[in-house]
Amino acid sequence: MPALRPQKDTAFLKAQPVAHRGYHDMNNAIWENTVSAFQRAIDHGYAIECDLQYTADGVPVVFHDDDMKRLCGVEGDIRVKTVGELGLFSIGNTADRIPSLSQLLRLVKGRVPLVLELKGRQGDDEGFADSVVDILESYDGPVALMSFDHWLLKDLKALESRFPLGLTAEGARPEDFALHEEAMALGLDFISYHYGHLPNPFISAQRDRGRTVITWTVRDEEAADHTFRHADQMTFEGFEPRARATGDLVA
């Protein structure tokens, strides 16, 4: 089945660099996926990318890992905790706690775009997509949703929400591209792709079909230059990117 063309406006994804898990400082003082990192991104005018996990009581929260050890210093599966229990844990021994999606929205208030990646577990995601979209429906601001997980993309697509929907992906082999084409056949609107796997025929074809392509995760200007040769915008961390005009391709 040929991939459908995008249906939602994704121009806001091209407008400014996207801060990976907020504009943190590589977890020195300002930790990833925290209110502090998100506020810093807002202050600098960057879009925000962050990860969503689903709690035991059905609440989307902002957290990347399945296990809490790296960020909270304690062993534990985030999926078996309630949102109230998660609120007791410090991120990196700072004052920051694990924020819920609702808390993130109250902080941002539409001031910068949000790119939300749903982190799925096959067979354990019932209600996840619905909960995210329900919370977002009353939000007034630019938001895009994405996932590596095809089952979550199918769930999100079935909800027919107003939010652009994208595939998070990587790979440079023909078999990778075949899997990605299966996802794009859902009628997705954009792609977030590993910058190191560009250029490739899959991404070139998607851009020809009118899809926005952003990259992950860019950590220096050399990688940024590479991104803008082959994609529309970057998700970055660990440096302050130089100003570029929208569509500024490096020769």
The CATH number of the domain holding residue 222 is: 3.20.20.190
- Find, among 13, 48, 41, 42, the residue nearest to 25 by Cα: 41
Flag whether 150 is in a domain: yes
The pTM score is 0.96
Rounded to whole angstroms, how far apart are CA atoms 234 and 17?
Answer: 6
Q: pLDDT averaged over the chain?
A: 96
Domain count, the chain: 1
CB atoms inside a 10 Å sphere around CB 69:
10
- Is the alpha carbon torsion for 199, 200, 201, 205 positive or negative? negative
Asked if residue 246 has pLDDT above 70, the reply is no
Give the mean model confidence (pLDDT) for residues 160-165.
Answer: 98
Cα dihedral sign, 63-85-134-95: negative
Domain of residue 164, residue span: 11-236
pLDDT value at 141 more than 90: yes
Given a cut of 90, whether residue 243 has pLDDT beyond it is no
Residue 1 has pLDDT above 60, yes or no: no
Kindly state the tokens that stand for 87: 């609120």
> Is residue 251 a part of any domain in this protein?
no
Residue 220 is assigned to a structural domain of this protein: yes
Q: How confident is the model at residue 9 (pLDDT cuts 50, 70, 90)?
A: very high
Whether the pLDDT of residue 184 is over 80: the answer is yes
247 lies in a domain? no
